[in-house]
C-alpha cells in the first residue's frame, strides 16, 4: 500500500523485483473459494495466521471472500500521523505491510491463502495479478481502472477503488485486497489512506456497477484465478449458482 517501504521488510509484498509478473505460469489446481459474509476483523486475521502456521505441503490453497464491520488497520510500517481522527471506529495493529486503511460493510475483502512456491509466484507477480483481476472485474461494468507501480492498488483516474496489503510467511500469503463496492466512504477522510494525504477514494456502485458485494465477489473469483495461474473454473450452471462455498465461521 505504501509506495516506498524498506527493501526486505517482512510482509511487504509490493517490492520483490526478482519475479517477472508477466511470465506464463503452469495451471494449478483450483483453490477452495469461501464466502464468509460479514465477520469481525481480529478473529478472521487470527484464523489466517493459524491457517498459515499449520499448513503443510499437502494443504490446499484457499481464497476467502468477505466483508468486515467498521475498522481501521495499521500495517507494520504504519505511522500514527496518518491516523487523523478515528473517532469510535476501532483501530487494530496488524502484521501486513503498508500503512493505514479502512474496512467496512459494502467493501469486498479478499484474502488469498496461497503456497507461493507451489504456484511459481513471487510477491510482485502476486500483487500485479491481483491488480489485473480487479481491473478485469470492474471492466465488466464499463469502469476503466488501472494499477500503479509507484502506489500499489487499483485506481479510476486519480481516485482509488481498491487497496492491496499482504503478508508473506513460510512462503505463504495472507491478508489481501479490499475493493470498494457500495460503502460509506466517510471514514477514509479520517485517515491518510495508505499513507497518502488527500488521496480520494471511489467505489464501484458510484461508477455504474452493482451495489451487491456478493455479486462482485462472484465476478472477481474467476478473474482472480485466471490472473494467478489457476485452472479456469467451469461455467456456472445458472445465474443463481455460485463459485463460493458459504461458511458460517472459521
Catalytic residues: 194
Asked whether 189 and 200 are in contact (CB, 8 A), the reply is no
58 phi, psi to nearest 5 deg: -90, -5
Asked whether 242 and 216 are in contact (CB, 8 A), the reply is no
Report the relative pairing of strands 172-180 and 154-156 from DSSP bridges: unpaired
Asked whether 124 and 21 are in contact (CB, 8 A), the reply is yes
Cα 30 from Cα 118, distance rounded (Å):
13
Cα 177 from Cα 154, distance rounded (Å):
10
Sheet holding 71-74, edge to edge: 91-93, 71-74, 100-103
193 phi, psi to nearest 5 deg: -55, 125
Amino acid at each position: 500500500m505504501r509506495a516506498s517501504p524498506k527493501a526486505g521488510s517482512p510482509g511487504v509484498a509490493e517490492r520483490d523485483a526478482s519475479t517477472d509478473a508477466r511470465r506464463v505460469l503452469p495451471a494449478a489446481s483450483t483453490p477452495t473459494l469461501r464466502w464468509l459474509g460479514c465477520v469481525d476483523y481480529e478473529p478472521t486475521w487470527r484464523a489466517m495466521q493459524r491457517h498459515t502456521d499449520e499448513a503443510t505441503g499437502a494443504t490446499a490453497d484457499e481464497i476467502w471472500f468477505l466483508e468486515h464491520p467498521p475498522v481501521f488497520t495499521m500495517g507494520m510500517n504504519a505511522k500514527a500521523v496518518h491516523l487523523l481522527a478515528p473517532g469510535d471506529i476501532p483501530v487494530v495493529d496488524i502484521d501486513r505491510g503498508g500503512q493505514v486503511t479502512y474496512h467496512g460493510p459494502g467493501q469486498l475483502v479478499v484474502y488469498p491463502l496461497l503456497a507461493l512456491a507451489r504456484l511459481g509466484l513471487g510477491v510482485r507477480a502476486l500483487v500485479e495479478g491481483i491488480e489485473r483481476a480487479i481491473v478485469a472485474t470492474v471492466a465488466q461494468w464499463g469502469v476503466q481502472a488501472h494499477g500503479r507501480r509507484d502506489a500499489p492498488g487499483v485506481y479510476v483516474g486519480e481516485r482509488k477503488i481498491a487497496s492491496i496489503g499482504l503478508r508473506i510467511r513460510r512462503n505463504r500469503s495472507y491478508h489481501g485486497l479490499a475493493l470498494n463496492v457500495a460503502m460509506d466512504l466517510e471514514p477514509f477522510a479520517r485517515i491518510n489512506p495508505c499513507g497518502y494525504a488527500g488521496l480520494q477514494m471511489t467505489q464501484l456502485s458510484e461508477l455504474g456497477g452493482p451495489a451487491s458485494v456478493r455479486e462482485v465477489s462472484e465476478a472477481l473469483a474467476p478473474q482472480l484465478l485466471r490472473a494467478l495461474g489457476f485452472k479456469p473454473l467451469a461455467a456456472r450452471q445458472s445465474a443463481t449458482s455460485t463459485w463460493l462455498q458459504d461458511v458460517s465461521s472459521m
